Structures are given as structure tokens and as C-alpha cells.
Amino acid sequence: MYVRSANIPVLEPAGPIALAEKNVIIATLLLCALVVVPVYSMLLVFSWRYRADNPVAHAEHHPTWDHYNWIAELVWWFIPACIIAVLGVIAWQSSNALDPYKQLRSDTPAITIDVVALDWKWLFIYPEQGIASVNLVEFPVDTPVHLYLTADAPMNSFWVPQLAGQIMVMPGMTTQLNLAASRTGDFNGSSANISGAGFSGMAFTARSVSGAEFQQWVASVQASSTPLTAEVYATIATPSEYNAVTYYAPISSGLFGSVVDKYMIPATGPASTADASSSDAMHMTP
């Protein structure tokens, strides 16, 4: 009963990518059953039939039984190999079909969102709409969403299980994730890679709404927010835990690129903090 009432996001996809990934999981489980069922059956039957206190075991006991010739050996290698061959085909095709970098085909043009993982919150920047938000990402239903992700923090992993599998989010690097929602609703997202003390509080909401609602939301954020300048960004990037949703508009252009680029130059960013504090450590007094 508990299982029926619980929310099982991986098995309750709300978008084409998550649905296809769920199908890969189910197909693999079914193919594996072809091995599990005989293994369990043999274990059960052999354990029962050939237990030492069963007269049958004494009658049939054959201490040197090893009906192995090279054909029998090949058969036992061949059967699992066939199943694995099928799984290999699935792996190849599904890896290509569900490559997170591959843009979704749709008549609706895609919306681009830049994602920055911070200590310990998510910043979503909408370059086309000129807005940004923390811990809430909203987008229209049935529309391809193209995410570009980086971190201004340790390594994180971006995960909204009802929409798509994870992609890692790393400082100085940009990864991509393409997804879409096939129905409206709020979907739980989180970071799936340990990134420090406030990591557990990195939950966010992915909200799929109708096209009209999305336009309204964009307009309301544009109207009522603080601008996302370099100074405001620095405040947001300061470590903090369990952050509430906040909105920013307008945004200073090129912010996402500068977050990625600052790790390319040794003179700035946390990389340089490391250099400075390590040389401090050499002279640290007890």
C-alpha cells in the first residue's frame, strides 16, 4: 500500500527523455530475468533435492560428475553472452538516442536556460528573457529545454528524475542537458553529487506550465526584481543553505560565460583562493 501511494519519480516520467530512460531500465530488468529465473530455480531445486539428509541425494550422489566437454562449456558461455549481446545493442542505440547533448526534435523552438550550481543553491539564467531565478526553473510544457550548466562551486550533479537523468555540473566547464515536460506540474530536482556542508539543501523545483502562463511569469519577474549585476551575483554565490526562491531582472549579459571563464585564469576564482590559502597554511601558527 505504501508503495502505491508514494511518489516514485523515476518510474513516473513526465517527459519524453525520462520515459525513454525508464523503458531502458524496464527492458534491462526483463532481459536479466532470463538469467535470474534459472539461477534461482537451480539453487532452490539443487539445494532441496541434494541436501545430505535426503535419500535421493545418496542414491544419485556422483562425486566426480562433471559432464563437461567443450561443447557444454561453450553453451554456458554462449547463453549469457547472447543476452549481453542484446543488452549491448540496447546500450549502443539508447546511448546515442538519449545523449544528453542531443537537441530534441520539435516544432516548437527550444528555450535555452543557463544553470549555475552554487554553494548551495541553483541559479537559473534565461538569456533570451533577460531574467534569472534561484532554486526554481520554470518553462513551457511540450517545449524542448536546452540547459547549459556550470558550477561556481565543487562538482554537482543536476537531476530532475521525472524529466531526465543527471548531468554533472563542474567549475570551469560547460555541460549540456536537453529535456522536455509532456505535462504541466512541479517536479522535484536536486543535486546528486556531494558538494559540501549545505549539499542536502540543494533541492529545487522544476515547473512546467502552459505557454501563456510562462509568458506571464517572465513578465512578472521582469517587472518586480533586483538586477543581476556582478555584485548581486557575488552575494548569491556566497555559501548559504536551504535558500528560498528569488528572482532577478534584468541580467548583465555574459555572466554565465564569465563564471565559466574565471576558472581558466589562475589569477581569479576559488582556484586562486586555493593557492593563497595554501601558502598561508605554510606559515600558519598553531
- Which of 1, 63, 109, 238 binds other proteins (CB under 8 A)? It is 63
Which grid coordinates are listed for 132? Answer: 534569472
Q: Does 257 participate in binding other proteins (rule CB under 8 A)?
A: no
What's the rounded Cα separation, in Å, for the pair 14 and 130? 27
What count of Cα atoms within 13 Å lies in the side-chain half-sphere of residue 218?
19
Binding span for other proteins by CB under 8 A among 63-71, 135-143, 224-232, 244-252: 63-71
Instruction: Give the residue with the Cβ less far from other proteins, 177 or 251.
Output: 177
Contacts with other proteins, 124-163, as mask; x by CB under 8 A? ------------------------------xx-x-x-x--
Q: Could you tell me the smallest distance in angstroms from the CB atom of residue 166 to other proteins? A: 4
Strand 145-151: give its sheet, edge to edge.
175-179, 145-151, 111-118, 121-126, 131-134, 246-251, 226-228
Q: Footprint of other proteins on residues 174-233 (CB under 8 A)?
A: 175-176, 188, 190-201, 203
Which grid coordinates are listed for 255? Answer: 555572466
- Which of 16, 130, 140, 165 binds other proteins (CB under 8 A)? It is 165
Q: Footprint of other proteins on residues 11-30 (CB under 8 A)?
A: 11, 18, 20-22, 24-25, 28-29
Contacts with other proteins, 31-50, as mask; x by CB under 8 A? -x--xx--xx-xx--xx--x
Q: Among 131, 129, 175, which Cα is nearest to 150's? A: 175
Q: Could you tell me the smallest distance in angstroms from the CB atom of residue 64 to other proteins? A: 6
3-state DSSP assignment of residue 122: strand
Binding span for other proteins by CB under 8 A among 108-116, 129-137, 167-175, 221-229: 167-175
What's the rounded Cα separation, in Å, for the pair 182 and 13? 9
Q: Could you tell me the smallest distance in angstroms from the CB atom of residue 196 to other proteins? A: 6
What's the rounded Cα separation, in Å, for the pair 204 and 123? 10
Instruction: Give the residue with the Cβ less far from other proteins, 79 or 219.
Output: 79
Q: Footprint of other proteins on residues 89-128 (CB under 8 A)?
A: 90-92, 94-102
- Which of 173, 219, 234, 245 binds other proteins (CB under 8 A)? It is 173
Chain centroid to CA 11: 14
What's the rounded Cα separation, in Å, for the pair 223 and 211? 18
Strands 111-118 and 164-169, sheet pairing: unpaired
Residue 142 neighbours by CB distance under 10 Å: 17
Instruction: Give the residue with the Cβ less far from other proteins, 28 or 184.
Output: 28
